[in-house]
Amino acid sequence: MYYNNIHVVRCTEMPSAPRNVTVVECGKDFVDLSWQCPDADGGSPVIQYVIEMRDVTGAASGAGGDGMWVECATVAASKLSVRVRHLLQGNSYLFRVSAKNRVGAGPPTALQQPVVTQLPYGALCF
């Protein structure tokens, strides 16, 4: 038996997690992050990266710091870095990045340690 109608079905899924999320620079009210592309795009090109943050100030002492993850930026797939602005000086933040394709956002990759927004050592504030 011979079939003339062959249908190719391309299965797509969400991309894998971005790699090596790192802090490039930190100031009193911003953090610059960078990362590398995920190992797999899930069969559909990555269209953007979603950056989320969580304020963990006081988490160790139990005085707050149980903040929820909040989306703070999205960037095009061609960008592998972002500056997150309007942060509070002296607060501790965790960040995570996920890749998104037409199916949805894949699992995030988070910083292993919180970053504290502060003036660089030796800088004067007027």
Which domains, from first to last, does the chain contain? 19-113 (2.60.40.10)
Q: What predicted TM-score, i.e. pTM, was given to this entire model?
A: 0.82
d(CA 114, CA 16): 23
| 15 CB-contact burial (10 Å; exposed 0-12 / middle 13-18 / buried 19+) | buried
Predicted confidence pLDDT, tens digits, the chain (126 residues): 556 666 555 668 999 999 999 999 999 999 999 999 999 999 999 999 999 999 999 765 454 456 799 999 999 999 999 999 999 999 999 999 999 999 999 999 999 999 999 876 655 444
Q: For 20, list phi and psi in degrees, rounded to 5.
A: 55, 55
| Per-residue pLDDT at 12 | 83
| Per-residue pLDDT at 8 | 54
